[in-house]
Amino acid sequence: METTDRAVRPSNAGERAARAAANAGEPTLEFVGGLPYDAYVHAGTLHSLQKPISKDPGEMSFLMISQIMELYFGLTCFELREAQRLLREDDVWGALGPLRRACLDIEGLNAAWRGLRWMTPADFNRFRDQLGEASGFQSAMYRHLEFLLGLRNAALLRPFHRHPEAYEALLEAMRAPSLWDDVIAVLARRGFGIPRDLLDRDVAAEHERHPAVEAAWVDIYRDETPGNPLWMLGEALTELADGFGDWRYQHLKAVQRSMGEKSGSGGSAGAAWLRRSMDRVVFPEIWSARTLV
């Protein structure tokens, strides 16, 4: 908790105009009680979190980009939970805003991979051994993102069972409806023929493609009424799923570029394991409906 003299103090348009006039248009250079920017962003804290464990300078790039991705995972999860809240209120229009922001967050995630394109196998090998068993597979926030998108597998909770806070949060997320479950509930409320057993299913299990959901999306995409909110919802979800698929593909390419077909640090088969994981489709009926429209 920040002390009072470090708190960000609110201001208004009049105060900002008066300050600019007093400064003759120049930025304020003197502050009492610390820098307001740092009090808000905690930049000093963020820049203290990079602690490389080798002497190789390339590790800093690998470490910081991993941390940037973690922040983007958290931000994307935040936006998806906001979209869920609005969908549960049947506010489809409102949900489009956080979904759009989530799509842009995933664009940031995809752009982050470009910061590692310099890394050859020789570059990675200079510090890889120092990482031990540390692997992105162990990212709790990435697992939250998968669960929110509907990709669920109880076995993936096991790495966290000795970390109660992370484990309980993930268990709660897996037992709660995914974004896709909430979308299907919206379709049911809007009069599409979604069967009761699908609405009442155990959401901890991964959703499997259902013909009733597919038929609903076929009808939605055949409706060319301008401004159809469900059509716009479908396109927002398509962009989200597409961007997430791009992130998984970029992950695979980064692994192939830096280590080829070697075993992963966390015990997996590396690139081969990533290829298999890409077969699990996000929002499957959004894609299969396109064949029938």
> Which tokens is 102 given?
């989530």
User: In this structure, are residues 142 and 74 in contact, taking their beta carbons and an 8 Å threshold?
Assistant: no
Encoding tokens for residue 75?
Answer: 């931000």
CA distances from 107 to 37, 101, 112, 141, 257 (A): 26, 10, 9, 17, 21
Check residue 157 and report its DSSP letter: G
Rounded distance, CA 52 to CA 60, Å? 6
Measured CA to CA, the distance from residue 135 to residue 77 in angstroms comes to: 20
Crossing angle (nearest 10°) for helices 92-112 and 58-88: 170
Crossing angle of helices 229-259/92-112, nearest 10°?
A: 10
C-alpha 73/C-alpha 198 separation (Å) is 29
Q: What are the angstrom distances between the C-alpha of 151 and each of 163, 175, 198, 217?
A: 22, 12, 17, 20
On whether 117 is known to bind a ligand per the annotation, the reply is no
Residues contacting 217, CB < 8 A, separation 6+: 234, 285, 286, 289
Q: Using DSSP, how many helices (H) and how many strands (E) does the chain show? A: 14, 0
251 is in an annotated binding site: yes
Note whether 102 and 76 are within 8 A (CB): yes
Residue bearing tokens 């076995």: 155
Annotated binding site: 128, 251
Annotated binding site for heme: 251
Annotated binding site for substrate: 128
